[in-house]
Amino acid sequence: MRVKKLLHTRMRVSDMDQTINFYTDVLGLEVMERKTSPRGSHLAFLKVPNSEELIELCSFPPSGPVTVQEDLVHLAFEVDNLDRTIEALTAKGIRITDGPTRSSSGSRFIFIGAPDGYEVELIERPPGIAIV
């Protein structure tokens, strides 16, 4: 048996609207669908530009607020120009929590905080580099 492809990654969140606003307004993701599951979880599926994989946000208020362990999980997105990205984030009041840093491959990256303590990595790759 072998899987065919990755479809989505689920992240549990405390405040669905706050989290959706972050991913749409700050990072430019698009909400594809919002619904309530048969178990009562509030779900939102976000489309990442140039990617088939979706991010599934899940909020289930009866289980209490989400606590994300530091440095346990993060999402990484590629950007065209890290300097312009930093300018745009600063204009929106988004604080860079780490970086900019240059990797041995020549990629440059920063981290920003997302709701619930999740981290987001934004990476600028030099031409011809596939992995950080």
- Per residue in 26-63, pLDDT tens? 999 999 999 999 988 999 999 999 999 999 999 998 88
This prediction has a pTM of: 0.88
Q: Which pLDDT score is estimated for 129?
A: 65
Region 64-89 average pLDDT: 90
Q: Which pLDDT score is estimated for 61?
A: 86
Catalytic site residue 121? yes
Task: Name the band, by pLDDT with cuts 50, 70 and 90, for residue 131.
Answer: low
Region 80-101 average pLDDT: 95
Q: Which pLDDT score is estimated for 128?
A: 73
Task: Name the band, by pLDDT with cuts 50, 70 and 90, for residue 1.
Answer: confident
Region 104-129 average pLDDT: 90
Whether residue 23 contacts residue 55, with contact meaning beta carbons closer than 8 Å, is answered with yes
Q: Is the dihedral of CA 131, 97, 27, 85 positive or negative?
A: negative
Q: Which pLDDT score is estimated for 126?
A: 87
The full set of domains in the chain, from first to last, is 1-63 (3.10.180.10), 67-132 (3.10.180.10)
Single-letter residue type at 104? S
Residue 100's CB is within 10 A of a number of other CB atoms, namely 15
> Cα separation of 126 and 105, whole Å?
8
How far CA 50 is from CA of 20, 58, 84, in Å, comes to 19, 23, 19
Q: Annotated catalytic residue: which of 33, 52, 70, 121?
A: 121
Instruction: Indicate if the pLDDT at residue 130 is higher than 80.
Output: no
Q: Which pLDDT score is estimated for 132?
A: 54
